[in-house]
Amino acid sequence: MKRIKRAGVLVALVCGTWSPGIGFGEFVPAGTLDQEEIAVTVRIESRRFIPHVVNLRTGQQVRLILKNEDVELHAFVPANLLVRTNVQVSGNGAPQFGKDEFHRVLIPSGGQVELVFTSKVEGSFPFFCDLPGHIMNGTIVVDG
């Protein structure tokens, strides 16, 4: 039983197949298709996240759309928000996963990444770009 559960988690985290030049295919696990989903767009322009505050609700499935409108590469690094949370990644970014969770996604100039997840915990969660010299941050506020 334990092996089966673990396999399910891994499948949810792998999120599509990387193909150079094509990016990630969208991975939609069965059982989430009929959930109500909201879309939130955050643009990156002049080394700023716009808006820099995003309000979400616990239990709400969210499609977070990140658009890099700058001429340089940026990263989206959500601190603590997506710990032990299934995240579906699509678009032409390069996501990176830690042992148990989504770590960050690199978004090329002109690129777009979509993250689909459901926040379970209330709180204020900072996000930032961790590329050298980039002082870019924002906050995702999750209310119950």
SS3 40: strand
Hey, what's the torsion of the CAs at 64, 141, 128, 71, to 10 degrees? Answer: 40
Cis check for the bond before 51: say yes or no (omega within 30 of 0).
yes
Please select the residue that binds Cu ion; options are 56, 129, 140, 142, rule is CB under 5 A. 129
Residue 134 as a binder of Cu ion (CB under 5 A): the answer is: yes
Please select the residue that binds Cu ion; options are 79, 83, 131, 141, rule is CB under 5 A. 131
Least separation in angstroms between residue 70's CB and Cu ion is 8
On whether the CB atoms of residues 100 and 84 are closer than 8 A, the answer is yes
Q: Alpha-carbon distance 25 to 71, whole Å?
A: 24
Residue 77 as a binder of Cu ion (CB under 5 A): the answer is: no
Least separation in angstroms between residue 129's CB and Cu ion is 3
Least separation in angstroms between residue 74's CB and Cu ion is 3
Q: Please give the residue ranges that form the binding site for Cu ion (CB under 5 A).
A: 74, 129, 131, 134, 136
